[in-house]
A and B are shown apart, each in its own frame.
Chain A
Amino acid sequence: MITEHELDNLIICKKCHTLHERLPLLGKKKALCSKCNVLLYQNNPNIINKTLAMVVTAAISLFLAFYFTIISINIQGLEKDLNLYSLFLVLIEHHQYIVGIIFIFLIFIFPITIIVAMLTLLILMKQKKNPYLVKRLLIILAHIRPWSMIDIFFISLLVAMVKLFDYASIEFGVAFIAFAFTLILDIIITKNISFDALWRKYQESYGRVNEE
Protein backbone atom coordinates (compact mmCIF):
# COMPACT_ATOMS: atom_id res chain seq x y z
CA MET A 1 0.00 0.00 0.00
CA ILE A 2 1.12 3.53 -0.66
CA THR A 3 0.54 6.50 1.59
CA GLU A 4 -2.10 9.21 1.32
CA HIS A 5 0.51 11.73 0.38
CA GLU A 6 1.54 9.67 -2.59
CA LEU A 7 -2.10 9.24 -3.57
CA ASP A 8 -2.43 13.02 -3.59
CA ASN A 9 0.26 13.14 -6.22
CA LEU A 10 -1.73 11.02 -8.61
CA ILE A 11 -4.51 12.13 -10.89
CA ILE A 12 -6.91 10.19 -13.07
CA CYS A 13 -8.11 11.69 -16.35
CA LYS A 14 -11.84 12.42 -16.24
CA LYS A 15 -12.35 11.28 -19.81
CA CYS A 16 -10.31 8.13 -20.33
CA HIS A 17 -9.42 7.25 -16.71
CA THR A 18 -5.71 6.96 -17.38
CA LEU A 19 -3.58 7.29 -14.27
CA HIS A 20 -1.07 10.13 -14.23
CA GLU A 21 1.48 11.40 -11.77
CA ARG A 22 1.26 15.07 -10.82
CA LEU A 23 4.37 17.03 -11.62
CA PRO A 24 4.98 20.61 -10.50
CA LEU A 25 4.18 23.04 -13.31
CA LEU A 26 6.01 26.18 -14.26
CA GLY A 27 4.00 29.38 -14.54
CA LYS A 28 0.86 29.18 -16.62
CA LYS A 29 1.52 25.84 -18.23
CA LYS A 30 -1.23 23.25 -18.32
CA ALA A 31 -1.00 19.53 -17.78
CA LEU A 32 -2.87 17.53 -20.40
CA CYS A 33 -3.78 13.87 -20.46
CA SER A 34 -1.24 11.85 -22.40
CA LYS A 35 -3.94 9.79 -24.10
CA CYS A 36 -6.81 12.14 -24.90
CA ASN A 37 -5.43 15.67 -24.38
CA VAL A 38 -8.01 16.68 -21.80
CA LEU A 39 -6.89 19.25 -19.27
CA LEU A 40 -5.76 17.54 -16.08
CA TYR A 41 -4.68 20.42 -13.88
CA GLN A 42 -2.99 23.78 -13.99
CA ASN A 43 -1.41 26.19 -11.59
CA ASN A 44 -4.06 28.34 -10.01
CA PRO A 45 -2.86 30.04 -6.84
CA ASN A 46 -5.71 32.55 -6.83
CA ILE A 47 -8.51 30.14 -7.49
CA ILE A 48 -10.67 31.25 -4.56
CA ASN A 49 -10.53 34.96 -5.27
CA LYS A 50 -11.00 34.52 -9.01
CA THR A 51 -13.92 32.16 -8.60
CA LEU A 52 -15.49 34.37 -5.95
CA ALA A 53 -15.39 37.35 -8.29
CA MET A 54 -17.08 35.34 -11.02
CA VAL A 55 -19.69 33.89 -8.69
CA VAL A 56 -20.66 37.32 -7.38
CA THR A 57 -21.07 38.58 -10.96
CA ALA A 58 -23.04 35.49 -11.84
CA ALA A 59 -25.32 36.00 -8.84
CA ILE A 60 -26.12 39.55 -9.92
CA SER A 61 -26.75 38.66 -13.54
CA LEU A 62 -28.81 35.62 -12.55
CA PHE A 63 -31.01 37.84 -10.42
CA LEU A 64 -31.47 40.26 -13.33
CA ALA A 65 -32.18 37.37 -15.70
CA PHE A 66 -34.91 35.99 -13.48
CA TYR A 67 -36.42 39.30 -12.46
CA PHE A 68 -36.85 41.14 -15.76
CA THR A 69 -38.47 40.26 -19.06
CA ILE A 70 -36.35 38.03 -21.30
CA ILE A 71 -38.03 38.78 -24.62
CA SER A 72 -41.36 40.22 -25.60
CA ILE A 73 -43.17 39.59 -28.84
CA ASN A 74 -45.66 41.65 -30.76
CA ILE A 75 -48.09 40.01 -33.16
CA GLN A 76 -50.18 42.66 -34.89
CA GLY A 77 -50.62 44.69 -31.75
CA LEU A 78 -50.94 41.79 -29.36
CA GLU A 79 -48.04 41.80 -26.91
CA LYS A 80 -46.68 39.07 -24.71
CA ASP A 81 -43.74 39.01 -22.33
CA LEU A 82 -41.56 36.07 -21.44
CA ASN A 83 -40.31 36.14 -17.90
CA LEU A 84 -40.08 33.70 -15.06
CA TYR A 85 -43.44 34.70 -13.65
CA SER A 86 -45.33 34.22 -16.91
CA LEU A 87 -43.50 30.91 -17.44
CA PHE A 88 -44.82 29.47 -14.19
CA LEU A 89 -48.27 30.97 -14.67
CA VAL A 90 -48.76 29.48 -18.13
CA LEU A 91 -47.42 26.07 -17.13
CA ILE A 92 -49.89 25.93 -14.25
CA GLU A 93 -52.70 27.19 -16.44
CA HIS A 94 -52.10 24.42 -18.98
CA HIS A 95 -51.91 21.81 -16.19
CA GLN A 96 -48.38 20.81 -17.20
CA TYR A 97 -47.32 19.87 -13.71
CA ILE A 98 -44.65 17.25 -14.48
CA VAL A 99 -42.99 19.33 -17.17
CA GLY A 100 -43.42 22.36 -14.92
CA ILE A 101 -41.68 20.78 -11.96
CA ILE A 102 -38.82 19.45 -14.10
CA PHE A 103 -38.49 22.84 -15.75
CA ILE A 104 -38.52 24.80 -12.49
CA PHE A 105 -35.83 22.57 -11.02
CA LEU A 106 -33.56 22.61 -14.06
CA ILE A 107 -33.82 26.29 -14.87
CA PHE A 108 -34.54 27.94 -11.56
CA ILE A 109 -33.77 25.92 -8.44
CA PHE A 110 -30.56 24.14 -9.44
CA PRO A 111 -28.76 27.17 -10.93
CA ILE A 112 -29.67 29.27 -7.90
CA THR A 113 -28.56 26.50 -5.54
CA ILE A 114 -25.23 26.26 -7.35
CA ILE A 115 -24.61 30.01 -7.16
CA VAL A 116 -25.66 30.29 -3.50
CA ALA A 117 -23.65 27.21 -2.51
CA MET A 118 -20.57 28.47 -4.35
CA LEU A 119 -20.89 31.89 -2.77
CA THR A 120 -21.18 30.52 0.78
CA LEU A 121 -18.45 28.00 0.18
CA LEU A 122 -15.92 30.45 -1.19
CA ILE A 123 -16.56 33.07 1.50
CA LEU A 124 -16.17 30.42 4.20
CA MET A 125 -13.00 29.09 2.58
CA LYS A 126 -11.58 32.58 2.35
CA GLN A 127 -12.10 33.05 6.08
CA LYS A 128 -11.10 29.46 6.88
CA LYS A 129 -14.20 28.81 8.92
CA ASN A 130 -16.60 25.92 9.29
CA PRO A 131 -14.88 23.03 7.47
CA TYR A 132 -17.91 20.78 7.94
CA LEU A 133 -20.26 23.06 6.00
CA VAL A 134 -17.68 23.64 3.27
CA LYS A 135 -17.35 19.93 2.76
CA ARG A 136 -21.13 19.39 2.64
CA LEU A 137 -21.46 22.18 0.08
CA LEU A 138 -18.70 20.74 -2.10
CA ILE A 139 -20.44 17.37 -2.08
CA ILE A 140 -23.85 18.92 -2.84
CA LEU A 141 -22.32 20.86 -5.72
CA ALA A 142 -20.87 17.70 -7.21
CA HIS A 143 -24.34 16.15 -7.17
CA ILE A 144 -26.20 19.12 -8.66
CA ARG A 145 -23.68 20.15 -11.29
CA PRO A 146 -24.94 17.92 -14.12
CA TRP A 147 -28.50 19.13 -13.64
CA SER A 148 -28.14 22.84 -14.27
CA MET A 149 -29.45 23.58 -17.75
CA ILE A 150 -29.15 27.34 -18.19
CA ASP A 151 -27.08 26.84 -21.33
CA ILE A 152 -29.63 24.56 -22.94
CA PHE A 153 -32.42 26.95 -22.03
CA PHE A 154 -30.59 29.74 -23.81
CA ILE A 155 -30.18 27.70 -26.99
CA SER A 156 -33.88 26.81 -26.78
CA LEU A 157 -34.67 30.49 -26.50
CA LEU A 158 -32.75 31.19 -29.70
CA VAL A 159 -34.51 28.32 -31.49
CA ALA A 160 -37.91 29.57 -30.34
CA MET A 161 -37.06 33.07 -31.53
CA VAL A 162 -36.16 31.83 -35.00
CA LYS A 163 -39.45 29.93 -35.12
CA LEU A 164 -41.36 33.10 -34.20
CA PHE A 165 -39.41 35.36 -36.50
CA ASP A 166 -41.85 35.10 -39.39
CA TYR A 167 -45.00 35.88 -37.43
CA ALA A 168 -44.00 38.37 -34.78
CA SER A 169 -41.67 41.22 -34.04
CA ILE A 170 -39.36 40.33 -31.20
CA GLU A 171 -37.97 42.76 -28.67
CA PHE A 172 -35.11 41.87 -26.37
CA GLY A 173 -35.56 42.56 -22.69
CA VAL A 174 -32.95 43.41 -20.09
CA ALA A 175 -32.96 39.83 -18.92
CA PHE A 176 -31.90 38.54 -22.33
CA ILE A 177 -28.51 40.22 -22.04
CA ALA A 178 -28.30 39.16 -18.41
CA PHE A 179 -29.08 35.60 -19.48
CA ALA A 180 -26.33 35.61 -22.08
CA PHE A 181 -23.93 36.92 -19.46
CA THR A 182 -25.04 34.35 -16.90
CA LEU A 183 -24.59 31.65 -19.50
CA ILE A 184 -20.94 32.52 -20.09
CA LEU A 185 -20.21 32.71 -16.37
CA ASP A 186 -22.16 29.53 -15.72
CA ILE A 187 -20.11 27.65 -18.29
CA ILE A 188 -16.88 28.91 -16.72
CA ILE A 189 -18.02 28.14 -13.18
CA THR A 190 -19.67 24.75 -13.61
CA LYS A 191 -17.56 23.32 -16.41
CA ASN A 192 -14.14 24.94 -16.33
CA ILE A 193 -13.35 25.46 -12.68
CA SER A 194 -11.55 22.43 -11.43
CA PHE A 195 -13.34 21.09 -8.41
CA ASP A 196 -10.30 18.97 -7.72
CA ALA A 197 -8.38 22.22 -7.20
CA LEU A 198 -11.05 23.44 -4.78
CA TRP A 199 -10.85 20.17 -2.85
CA ARG A 200 -7.06 20.50 -2.68
CA LYS A 201 -7.44 24.02 -1.39
CA TYR A 202 -9.90 22.68 1.17
CA GLN A 203 -7.34 20.15 2.37
CA GLU A 204 -4.67 22.80 2.46
CA SER A 205 -6.68 25.23 4.56
CA TYR A 206 -8.32 22.86 6.99
CA GLY A 207 -5.95 19.93 7.09
CA ARG A 208 -7.31 16.45 6.84
CA VAL A 209 -10.62 16.47 8.63
CA ASN A 210 -11.72 13.02 9.58
CA GLU A 211 -15.35 12.43 10.16
CA GLU A 212 -15.68 8.92 11.39
Chain B
Amino acid sequence: MKNDVHFIRCHICEAVNHDNGENHKCRRCHSPIYHNLKLSYHKTLAFLITAIILYIPANIYPILISKQFGIISESTIMGGIMHLWESGSYPIALIILVASVFVPLLKFIFIIYLLIATRYKLNSSQQDKHKLFYITEAIGPWSMVDVFVVIILSVLIHFSGIQVIPGAGATAFALMVFFTMISALSFDTRLISEKHNTSLEGNT
Protein backbone atom coordinates (compact mmCIF):
# COMPACT_ATOMS: atom_id res chain seq x y z
CA MET B 1 0.00 0.00 0.00
CA LYS B 2 2.79 2.45 0.73
CA ASN B 3 5.14 1.34 -1.94
CA ASP B 4 5.91 4.80 -3.27
CA VAL B 5 7.56 5.90 -0.02
CA HIS B 6 10.82 4.46 1.20
CA PHE B 7 11.47 3.70 4.81
CA ILE B 8 14.61 3.49 6.83
CA ARG B 9 15.42 2.17 10.27
CA CYS B 10 17.16 4.51 12.69
CA HIS B 11 20.27 2.69 13.90
CA ILE B 12 20.04 4.31 17.35
CA CYS B 13 16.43 3.97 18.43
CA GLU B 14 15.14 1.54 15.80
CA ALA B 15 12.26 3.82 14.77
CA VAL B 16 10.95 3.68 11.23
CA ASN B 17 11.63 6.88 9.31
CA HIS B 18 10.95 8.27 5.89
CA ASP B 19 13.95 7.98 3.67
CA ASN B 20 14.12 11.36 2.02
CA GLY B 21 17.62 12.03 0.89
CA GLU B 22 20.68 13.21 2.75
CA ASN B 23 20.91 15.08 6.06
CA HIS B 24 18.03 13.69 7.92
CA LYS B 25 17.25 13.44 11.61
CA CYS B 26 15.42 10.62 13.27
CA ARG B 27 11.93 11.67 14.28
CA ARG B 28 12.19 9.94 17.65
CA CYS B 29 15.72 10.31 18.97
CA HIS B 30 16.81 13.23 16.78
CA SER B 31 20.16 11.64 16.06
CA PRO B 32 21.41 12.24 12.55
CA ILE B 33 20.57 9.24 10.41
CA TYR B 34 22.85 9.98 7.52
CA HIS B 35 25.51 12.57 7.28
CA ASN B 36 26.90 11.48 4.02
CA LEU B 37 26.73 8.14 2.30
CA LYS B 38 29.98 8.62 0.46
CA LEU B 39 31.76 9.45 3.69
CA SER B 40 30.36 6.31 5.29
CA TYR B 41 31.64 4.23 2.38
CA HIS B 42 35.13 5.70 2.59
CA LYS B 43 35.27 5.47 6.37
CA THR B 44 34.37 1.79 6.24
CA LEU B 45 37.01 1.21 3.59
CA ALA B 46 39.69 3.14 5.50
CA PHE B 47 39.09 1.33 8.79
CA LEU B 48 38.97 -1.99 6.96
CA ILE B 49 42.34 -1.35 5.32
CA THR B 50 43.81 -0.37 8.71
CA ALA B 51 42.48 -3.61 10.18
CA ILE B 52 43.87 -5.72 7.33
CA ILE B 53 47.28 -4.09 7.71
CA LEU B 54 47.20 -4.75 11.47
CA TYR B 55 46.27 -8.36 10.82
CA ILE B 56 49.75 -8.99 9.39
CA PRO B 57 51.79 -8.06 12.51
CA ALA B 58 49.12 -9.75 14.62
CA ASN B 59 50.02 -13.02 12.97
CA ILE B 60 53.76 -12.53 12.54
CA TYR B 61 54.68 -11.24 15.99
CA PRO B 62 54.32 -13.46 19.04
CA ILE B 63 51.06 -13.05 20.89
CA LEU B 64 52.48 -14.74 23.96
CA ILE B 65 56.00 -14.76 25.37
CA SER B 66 56.83 -17.16 28.17
CA LYS B 67 59.93 -16.86 30.32
CA GLN B 68 60.94 -20.01 32.13
CA PHE B 69 63.98 -19.47 34.33
CA GLY B 70 65.61 -17.23 31.78
CA ILE B 71 64.65 -19.28 28.74
CA ILE B 72 62.35 -17.26 26.51
CA SER B 73 59.93 -18.97 24.16
CA GLU B 74 57.53 -17.12 21.93
CA SER B 75 54.40 -18.33 20.22
CA THR B 76 52.29 -16.75 17.51
CA ILE B 77 48.55 -17.31 17.08
CA MET B 78 48.98 -20.19 14.64
CA GLY B 79 51.83 -21.62 16.72
CA GLY B 80 49.63 -21.59 19.80
CA ILE B 81 46.80 -23.35 17.97
CA MET B 82 49.20 -25.99 16.62
CA HIS B 83 50.61 -26.55 20.09
CA LEU B 84 47.14 -26.97 21.55
CA TRP B 85 46.19 -29.38 18.77
CA GLU B 86 49.31 -31.49 19.28
CA SER B 87 48.80 -31.61 23.02
CA GLY B 88 45.33 -32.99 22.49
CA SER B 89 43.03 -30.12 23.50
CA TYR B 90 41.04 -30.24 20.27
CA PRO B 91 37.96 -28.26 21.40
CA ILE B 92 40.08 -25.39 22.71
CA ALA B 93 42.24 -25.42 19.59
CA LEU B 94 39.06 -25.22 17.50
CA ILE B 95 37.61 -22.35 19.57
CA ILE B 96 40.81 -20.34 19.21
CA LEU B 97 41.09 -21.21 15.52
CA VAL B 98 37.54 -20.08 14.80
CA ALA B 99 37.70 -16.99 17.01
CA SER B 100 41.07 -15.62 16.02
CA VAL B 101 41.60 -16.85 12.46
CA PHE B 102 38.24 -17.52 10.83
CA VAL B 103 36.18 -14.72 12.38
CA PRO B 104 38.52 -11.86 11.36
CA LEU B 105 38.98 -13.30 7.88
CA LEU B 106 35.23 -13.77 7.48
CA LYS B 107 34.68 -10.20 8.60
CA PHE B 108 37.18 -8.89 6.08
CA ILE B 109 35.58 -10.91 3.29
CA PHE B 110 32.04 -9.89 4.24
CA ILE B 111 32.82 -6.19 4.46
CA ILE B 112 34.82 -6.25 1.21
CA TYR B 113 31.94 -8.04 -0.47
CA LEU B 114 29.40 -5.53 0.84
CA LEU B 115 31.56 -2.62 -0.33
CA ILE B 116 32.04 -4.13 -3.79
CA ALA B 117 28.36 -4.97 -4.01
CA THR B 118 27.32 -1.40 -3.27
CA ARG B 119 29.93 0.01 -5.61
CA TYR B 120 29.26 -2.14 -8.63
CA LYS B 121 25.56 -2.86 -8.12
CA LEU B 122 26.00 -6.60 -7.89
CA ASN B 123 22.82 -8.43 -8.59
CA SER B 124 22.42 -10.19 -5.27
CA SER B 125 19.38 -10.00 -3.04
CA GLN B 126 19.18 -6.97 -0.82
CA GLN B 127 17.92 -9.04 2.08
CA ASP B 128 20.88 -11.37 1.90
CA LYS B 129 23.19 -8.40 2.11
CA HIS B 130 21.35 -7.07 5.15
CA LYS B 131 21.64 -10.50 6.74
CA LEU B 132 25.33 -10.64 5.90
CA PHE B 133 25.86 -7.30 7.57
CA TYR B 134 23.92 -8.45 10.62
CA ILE B 135 26.15 -11.52 10.90
CA THR B 136 29.26 -9.37 10.43
CA GLU B 137 28.25 -7.19 13.35
CA ALA B 138 27.34 -10.15 15.54
CA ILE B 139 30.54 -12.19 15.13
CA GLY B 140 32.88 -9.22 15.41
CA PRO B 141 33.75 -9.11 19.12
CA TRP B 142 34.38 -12.86 19.36
CA SER B 143 37.85 -12.55 17.93
CA MET B 144 38.90 -10.89 21.18
CA VAL B 145 38.95 -14.31 22.91
CA ASP B 146 42.62 -14.97 22.22
CA VAL B 147 43.75 -11.58 23.53
CA PHE B 148 41.72 -12.03 26.72
CA VAL B 149 43.14 -15.53 27.24
CA VAL B 150 46.68 -14.17 26.94
CA ILE B 151 45.91 -11.39 29.42
CA ILE B 152 44.39 -13.83 31.93
CA LEU B 153 47.36 -16.19 31.58
CA SER B 154 49.81 -13.33 32.03
CA VAL B 155 48.11 -12.39 35.29
CA LEU B 156 47.94 -15.91 36.67
CA ILE B 157 51.41 -17.06 35.63
CA HIS B 158 53.41 -14.27 37.11
CA PHE B 159 56.07 -15.72 39.36
CA SER B 160 59.72 -14.88 39.73
CA GLY B 161 60.79 -18.00 37.85
CA ILE B 162 58.03 -18.41 35.29
CA GLN B 163 56.29 -15.57 33.54
CA VAL B 164 53.87 -15.17 30.68
CA ILE B 165 53.95 -11.82 28.93
CA PRO B 166 51.60 -10.57 26.19
CA GLY B 167 53.65 -9.96 23.05
CA ALA B 168 53.46 -7.33 20.34
CA GLY B 169 51.06 -9.57 18.45
CA ALA B 170 48.46 -9.14 21.19
CA THR B 171 48.50 -5.36 20.81
CA ALA B 172 48.24 -5.61 17.03
CA PHE B 173 45.45 -8.14 17.32
CA ALA B 174 43.42 -6.09 19.81
CA LEU B 175 43.75 -3.03 17.58
CA MET B 176 42.78 -5.10 14.55
CA VAL B 177 39.55 -6.22 16.25
CA PHE B 178 38.88 -2.63 17.31
CA PHE B 179 39.25 -1.35 13.76
CA THR B 180 37.13 -4.09 12.19
CA MET B 181 34.38 -3.25 14.67
CA ILE B 182 34.64 0.47 13.89
CA SER B 183 34.61 -0.38 10.21
CA ALA B 184 31.41 -2.40 10.55
CA LEU B 185 29.80 0.29 12.70
CA SER B 186 30.56 3.05 10.21
CA PHE B 187 29.02 1.05 7.39
CA ASP B 188 25.70 2.62 6.57
CA THR B 189 22.93 0.11 5.88
CA ARG B 190 21.38 2.49 3.40
CA LEU B 191 24.37 1.82 1.16
CA ILE B 192 22.88 -1.61 0.68
CA SER B 193 19.45 -0.44 -0.34
CA GLU B 194 20.36 2.78 -2.11
CA LYS B 195 20.90 1.33 -5.56
CA HIS B 196 17.82 -0.82 -5.33
CA ASN B 197 15.44 1.64 -3.81
CA THR B 198 12.72 0.81 -6.30
CA SER B 199 12.67 -2.84 -5.34
CA LEU B 200 12.05 -2.16 -1.66
CA GLU B 201 9.90 -4.86 -0.17
CA GLY B 202 6.24 -4.16 0.48
CA ASN B 203 4.85 -4.78 3.92
CA THR B 204 3.13 -7.87 5.10
Contact = CB atoms under 8 A, between A and B. Distances in A.
A86 B156 CA distance: 9
Contacts of B192: 17
A125 interface: no
A34 B203 CA distance: 10
B96 interface: yes
A184 interface: no
A99 B166 contact: yes
Contact of B204 (A34, A157, A164): A34
Contact of B203 (A19, A71, A199): A19
Interface string B22-55: 0001011111000000000000000000000000
Interface of A: 1-2, 4, 7-8, 10-12, 14-21, 34-36, 71, 73, 75, 78, 80, 82, 86-87, 90-91, 94, 96, 98-99, 102-103, 106, 135, 138-139, 142-143, 146-147, 149, 152-153, 155-157, 159-160, 162-164, 168, 195-196, 199, 203, 211-212
B72 interface: no
B86 to A, nearest CB: 13
Interface residues of B, number: 65
Interface of B: 2, 5, 7-9, 11-18, 25, 27-31, 84, 89, 92, 95-96, 126-127, 130-131, 134, 137, 140-142, 144-149, 151-159, 165-166, 170-171, 174-175, 178, 181, 185, 189, 192-193, 200-204
8 contacts: A7-B17, A17-B189, A87-B151, A103-B147, A163-B92, A163-B153, A196-B14, A212-B25
Contacts of B92: 159, 162-163
A12 B190 CA distance: 13
Given A17-B127, A199-B28, A1 B18 contact: yes
B8 to A, nearest CB: 8
Nearest to A151: B141
B13 A196 contact: yes
Contacts of B7: 7, 10, 12, 19
A interface SS class? helix
Contacts, number: 174
Contacts of A211: 30
A157 B156 CA distance: 11
A151 to B, nearest CB: 8
B154 A90 contact: yes
B12 A163 contact: no
A138 B153 CA distance: 36
B147 A99 contact: yes
A52 B39 CA distance: 39
